[in-house]
Structure 1
Amino acid sequence: MSPREQHPENALYRFYGATGELLYLGVTHDPKQRWAQHRRTQHWWLDVARTEVEWVGDRATAEAAELAALEAEKPRYDRHLSGIYRNEVPSTVRRHADPEAERKIQNAVRVLAHDIRAGVFPQWTVMPSMGSLSDRYSMPVMAVDTALSRLDFQENLVARLDGRTVVVDPREFSGEGLRGHRLTLVLLRHHFEVRPFTAALAAASLRIPLNTMAQHIRLLTRDGAVRKKAAAQEFFLAP
């Protein structure tokens, strides 16, 4: 029987380091599958010494619990739009001990940086997934992953928001404090396109606190980029 069949609800999970520090938390309906993804793609996986799983109900309940936990517990490697936790430079930014792996990483940095500067990936757009970039350039996923971290921390050509979403060259905001609402607009377009959304749905989708999302929506509505449906709590993006 699969984890999903055993537990029809969703799991809020936490990863701790050897000293008890909370490294990461997230939600999933299938911990085994999700953790396998972390193992393949996340540089901090080798630091995980202990896990905790809490089954919390349907997806909306789980995401609400996740947002509350992110705000209260501030895991080392979780990032969201109300601020990036940069307690230390990720280990992926440091030189790899394996010379061949380091050569592949440096090649990925060079190629991606060239194409970003050349406009292949325009400013203020969300880059393709790491898997898509890996296929496009015939590079290992881990080389692409590490290259994107270096382009974030060392070159400031991209911003990695949650380990997955990468925005190209967002020069107009810093890595601390409330993010620019223009970045929020980029992510709203990426997630919703022409679909209507509520502030709560947008907050859960972008993994930021509801009150922060409400501030961004007010600013975007003022600027005409977001419009509110009459007599409803739904919003939609202006063409």
Structure 2
Amino acid sequence: MPTPPERTALYRLYGTNDRLLYIGITDNPEARWERHAAFKWWWVQVTRKQVNWLNASWREALDIEKATIREERPAYNGTHNHGVAPFDAAAWPRIEAQPRQKFSALADLIRTEIASGRWQAGDRLPDAEDLATASGVGEGTVQRAFRELVNEGSIMRLHGLGTFVRARIVTIAPNRMLRPT
């Protein structure tokens, strides 16, 4: 007897004025919503739920969820709901520095991408594994470069979401008091 196809629901949660709050996948929407109600602070905003059943494997459903989040930009999805820094591993320079200077050379390459505007505030950086492979260094070297850039405020790491270009905060000195003329 053949195995029945997996049934996975792609669901959307809406708030007032049909504002899209969240997109997810599950094989049991009611149970998933109970978990959201227990753990998501924004659940009280949900006014409408929409479910579309997919005839797809779980892996295919994950890809559909990811594409839908990127396209529709729901308010409370963190994962997949951001721009990705442009990265061509084949064109990325290989680092030929001395072993103890490799992390610094990689940090300089990342700084250059940010300073040039190619990687912009809010963009997610390439995965450490991809950067390591493209640069010809180990993942530990990438992590050390990331730590340096985090410490200087160029990038930020968000647990479970990735590493992002940090927005620059410009501080403007307060105006001096001027005497009326």
| Rg larger for | 2
* Higher normalized helix content (fraction of residues): 1
Q: TM-score, normalised by structure 1?
A: 0.37
Q: TM-score, normalised by structure 2?
A: 0.48
